[in-house]
Structure 1
Amino acid sequence: MRRPALLVATVATVASLLLAGCGSDDGNASAATDGISGSVTVFAAASLTESFTTLGEQFEDAHPAVTVKFNFSASSALAESIGQGAPADVFASASTKNMDAVVEDGDAADPKTFARNTMEIAVPPDNPGQVTTLADLAKPGLKIALCQEQVPCGATARTVFDKAKITVKAATLGTDVKSVLTTVSLGEVDAGVVYKTDVRAAGAKVKGIEIPAAQNASTAYPIATISDGPNAEGAKAFVEYVLSADGARVLTDAGFSAP
């Protein structure tokens, strides 16, 4: 049966308004259709603080229904927490050793290396200890800050000293690379050995002294989703974003090198 023209027009008008309403918020529509929502908890190495904070903000912009929560600390401490059942969706480590431990425990699988980092000497801006070379760190009387040896930045620094055949005695041992950097920036020590990315992130708070390539050492950064994480889809999407060209761009800008 034919409908009256007025009724047809009314139905058409309502339909067009409904369609317009559905398309009025592209971001929310995208978030509703990509299946990603809720919070994504990322356990990440302390040296990733600045770059992952940026990546988290960009990821949230791309997925408005998602909130990214970070726990930044030493990779060794994060791996231990995951092993003890701490709720996490993603683990980004500054060491394959710590990631391997999580994988061996069955808490993660198929990690992907997304960046590498090398070491650099950090001194206070006025350089009171007059440190200019790696060998200067072995001079008696200087106060040197290092990461604890079980922490990736401490283990990598130890490799640097072994390659240079020098013995460096630490006046203080930091729980992670940021604590070492803070000690240096406050002038509590003459120098510290940290990642080059942390020297860059500190800006004018410290002065960086490069370590020759022949004596330097690097560490790889793997990332993986946690097997029983509460937000599997969000975790997968975040890992993919870190591994994407956009993720690589942020990491390169922060001073990381390609894997």
Structure 2
Amino acid sequence: MHFSHRPPRRTVRIAAAALAAGLLIAPAGCASGPDSSGGGDSEGGEAEEPRTLTVFAAASLTDTFEQLTDAFSEQHDGVDVQLSFAGSSDLVAQITEGAPADVVATADERTMQQLVDDSLLTGEPTPFVTNVLEIAVPEGNPEGVSSLTDLANPDLDVVVCAPQVPCGAATEKVEEASGVRLSPVSEEPQVTDVLGKVAGGQADAGLVYRTDAAGSDAVEGIAFPEAQDAVNTYPIAPVADSASPALAQEFVDFVLSEEGWRIFEEAGFTAP
């Protein structure tokens, strides 16, 4: 199957702050009753109301999940996929606090395990891609950074992810394995914030995922061997209280399909 040119986006990005504040309204037509993902005509021959699927995904999946959603929507008429991107720990906290979601994909298995332990998922999460850290520097690499050791230079302004999010946990693993200790000027709640500070010239370097560096025209990515000590595996699963469980499983299956894999592979992700 070949992708057509991407249509106008049919997704709605939900601000994480709104979710955390409990402002998100439950998907229309899915608040009660049986799963509405099945086909069939409505009573009286009226057209079926649009179905909504809410997907929570780690910030590092933004580009790929937007592409996946376009392709999924082409194959599912009347389905409105709403995407919410944030740091994985924030997504887990929102679901734990009752934010409505149908599918969740995090940037590591440790974070997802919290939802498993709280019985908030349907079945076991399925790994679908892996990722590693790279050093991101502004275009042209003005400080001449070439290795992880360079980031320990106190004259450099380095930004990293906060320890509670997967990219921050991976940074700590890299530090422990390499013996290199960083003194970041800031710890960000999601990897895209690190990328943004480097791209905007607010930092000399930062640790981001390889796919984030590859997807940005404003930074250069520098691979370093110590990153292999902190490979992150991304899992995905339907949320237990999904209002449309069958549709949620269809989205998960699409992510795991060959069509989904091609999108991830092109973005630089690797197989688990």
The reply to whether residue 53 of structure 1 matches residue 66 of structure 2 is yes
Report the Cα distance in structure 2 between the residues aligned to 1:36 and 1:199, rounded to whole angstroms: 40
The alignment status of 1:227 with 2:240, answered yes or no, reads yes
1:91 to 80, 104, 110: 104
User: Shift of the alpha carbon at 1:37?
Assistant: 6.1
TM-score (normalised: structure 1): 0.84
Could you say which residue in structure 1 is the equivalent of 2:214? 200
What one-letter code is carried by the residue in structure 2 that aligns with 1:124? P
Distance verdict in 2 for CA 1:81–1:214, change over 3 Å: closer
Two-structure CA RMSD over aligned residues (Å): 1.7
Opposite residue 166 of structure 1, the aligned amino acid is V
Q: Which has the higher helix share?
A: 1
2:152 is aligned to: 138
Aligned partner of residue 225 in structure 2, secondary structure: coil
Q: Is the 8 A contact 1:36 1:234 kept in 2?
A: no
Structure 2 distance, partners of 1:98, 1:240, is 21
Amino acid at match of 2:253: E
Return the letter of the residue paired with 2:225. P
Change (3 A) 1:205 1:219: same
- For 1:223 and 1:215, how far apart are their aligned partners in 2? 22
- What does 1:1-259 correspond to in 2, within 5 Å? 32=39, 38-108=51-121, 109-202=123-216, 204-212=217-225, 216-259=229-272
SS across alignment from 1:47? helix
Deviation readout 1:40-75 (Å, 9 max, x if unpaired): 100000000000000000000011121111000000
Distance (whole Å) between structure 2 residues aligned to residue 42 and residue 67 of structure 1? 11
Q: How much does 1:135 deviate?
A: 0.7
Q: Is the 8 A contact 1:36 1:66 kept in 2?
A: no
The answer to whether the 8 Å contact 2:133/2:227 transfers is no
Identity among equivalent positions (%) equals 41
Aligned-residue offset at 1:128:
2.5
1:47 & 1:240 partners in 2: Cα distance? Answer: 20
Gaps of 5+ in 1: 1-30
Output the amino acid matched with 1:188.
Q
Question: SS of the counterpart of 1:77?
Answer: helix
Separation in 1 of the partners of 2:261 and 2:226?
23
User: Does the 8 Å contact 1:36/1:233 carry over to 2?
Assistant: no
Structure with greater Cα Rg = 1
In the TM superposition, structure 1's runs of 4+ consecutive aligned residues that sit over 6 Å from their partners are: none
Report the number of matched residues. 227
Q: Does the aligned pair in 2 maintain the 1:177–1:195 contact within 8 Å?
A: yes
- Hey, what's the Cα distance between the residues in 1 that align with 2:226 and 2:74? 38
Partner Cα separation in structure 2 for residue 89 and residue 143 of structure 1: 39
